[in-house]
Amino acid sequence: MSVASRFEGLPTAAKLLIILSLVMLPIGIVLTALGSAGINEAKTAQRDRANDQGRLTAKAIESLLARNALALRVAANGAMVNGTAQACEEARQSLSIAPALAQNFELDTVEGMKICSVGTPIDTGRMPLVAPGDVKVAIAPDAHAVAIRMGVIGGMATGVVPIEEIKAAAREAGTTFDSLSISGQGTSEPLAIQAAPIGRRLYYSEWPLGTRQVIARVGTRDSTLAVPERLLLLLPLLMWIAAALITWLLVTRLLIRPLRRLERAISDFRPGETELDLPDRLGPSAEIQQLRESFGRAISRIDDSDREMTNALEGQRRLVREVHHRVKNNLQVVASLLNIHGRNAESVEARSAYLAIGRRVGALSVVHRNHFAEMEENRGIALRPLLSELAAELRSSAPDNARALVIELDVDTVHTTQDVAVAIAFLVTEIVEYAMLHCPGESVEISLRRTSELTARLSLGNQALNPAEDGEKEKVQFERIVAGLAKQLRSTLERKLGRYSVELPIFPPK
């Protein structure tokens, strides 16, 4: 079954819902796409701002580390020139006059041997050796700080910048962030300067510091879809669904349901059996109310017309019945007159002619009488009673030498039209009359058997139906008459030894 055939088989309400959904779907898709594009643009802009905040935070940390490295290098170079005995003290005094610089450092020899230190001891064993002028930055997880080692004249200087100072420098830069950590090469765990809030989605950006030996990882709040934004994104889809459903409900309640009620009321109406009972209220639609009134007027006119046609048909039926009755009576009168004139005829030939004509008029009268009897049931003419009555009429009008003629009937109950019945009556009359005139001592066998739903075979048997001798004009004329009657039945007369048969149309059984 094709899609079009399935669609045609759907109820009107379902068709309407599908059509509205398909019509409004492009609008919903476009609005949803526009809303999604707007939200994506907002998220992109927010992430760009987060990248800017991360860049500024990294620059502030890098600036802090650079200031500390520069100040420690200058102080360590000046102290190491004067010897190593008081190098740390001299470097401390030089750093103390510079604001916002770390005061925790260590001086080592070129081989990495500790010379002296200021502040909390620093674990520098994992830091590599550096040449004069070179700088290495690493994570000092034990000290919760970032260690900076640089080569100076006659050795190395290593300083640390605590995470509090790094966090303060990042805050002073005017940036906002939710988490901040620094990771370096060779460290398994990053140095968490500000831990990420639990249960919050963050957007992370990474920025290399200094010589790219450490990386600052800045986390800012990710732009997730809030409830209003989700509703705004789903609003076109919801509007599409709501519009289709509301339209479907309105059309169903205002149009489909009233029409169905009206259709049921009209289907339940049986002319002549039940009264037309249309629903009084069919919703607020004035057009459907007018349709109800139009249906009422139309059915009322049809009912009146049906009554008039019924009365006219009954009158016509009575008229036809009367016509058939009069024709039957007239034929019987004619048959009686012929019979009277035949008895008063002076010659044998005239008497035989009167009787022959009377038999044919009687056969036609029998057909009309049976047709008149079957008109009430409108099933056509029953051939069984017709042939029985016709056989009785033929025996009663037989010549004196054929009074003992026996007519054997073997007839099925079948019905046919009046034209076929007339041809059958004449055919039987011709054959029986020929038999009673030429073989009055032999019985005549008449059989009628159904051969299919629409056909039956009529067979008549008598010794008079044997092939005629050459030159027998009466038999030739007889053959011509019965052949012509067979043609009226639209069949061919089948001749066998002492038997004639013909196919005739009948009504199907009920």
CATH of the domain at 480: 3.30.565.10
Residue 418 structural domain: 311-505
Stretch among 29-33, 42-46, 270-274, 474-478 having the lowest mean pLDDT: 270-274
Would 286 be classed as within a structural domain? no
- pLDDT band with cut points at 50, 70 and 90 for residue 447: very high
52 alpha carbon, distance to own chain's centre: 56
H-only helix segments in 345-441? 348-374, 383-396, 418-438
Domain boundary among 221, 239, 265: 221
Residue 382: pLDDT over 70: yes
- Token pair listed for 181: 């950590």
Residue 276 lies in a domain: no
Flag whether 240 is in a domain: no
Question: pTM of the prediction?
Answer: 0.43
Please report the pLDDT score of residue 335 as a whole number. 65
| Domain endpoint, select from 193, 221, 249 | 221
DSSP bridge pairs for 135:
150
**Helices (H), strands (E): how many in the chain?**
11, 16
Residue 116 has pLDDT above 80, yes or no: yes
305 in any annotated domain: no
Is the domain of 39 the same as that of 149?
Answer: yes
Give the pLDDT confidence of 164-212 residue by residue, as tens digits.
887 887 787 767 777 777 877 655 567 777 777 776 677 778 878 766 7
Higher pLDDT, residue 345 or 506: 506
CB atoms within 10 A of CB 34: 11
If pLDDT is split at 50, 70 and 90, which confidence band does 88 have?
Answer: confident
Clarify whether residues 198 and 324 are in a common domain.
Answer: no
Is 270 a domain residue?
no
Mean pLDDT of all residues in 75-101: 74
CA neighbor of 216 nearest in space, from 274, 156, 167, 159: 167
Provide the domain count of the chain: 2
Domain-located, residue 263 = no
Q: Contact 419/440 with Cβ under 8 angstroms?
A: no
Task: Please give the C-alpha separations between residue 488 and each of 64, 193, 427, in angstroms, as whole numbers.
Answer: 128, 120, 10
Instruction: Please say which residue of 167, 201, 221 terminates a domain.
Output: 221
Residue 81 has pLDDT above 90, yes or no: no
Same domain, 324 and 195: no
The percent of residues in the chain predicted with pLDDT above 90, rounded, is 5
Judged by phi (left if over 0) then psi (alpha if -120 to 50, else beta), residue 281 lies in beta
Residues 330 and 209 in one domain: no
Q: Report the interhelical angle of 473-488 vs 418-438 (nearest 10°).
A: 160
On the question of pLDDT at 217 being above 90, the answer is no
Residues 200 and 60 in one domain: yes
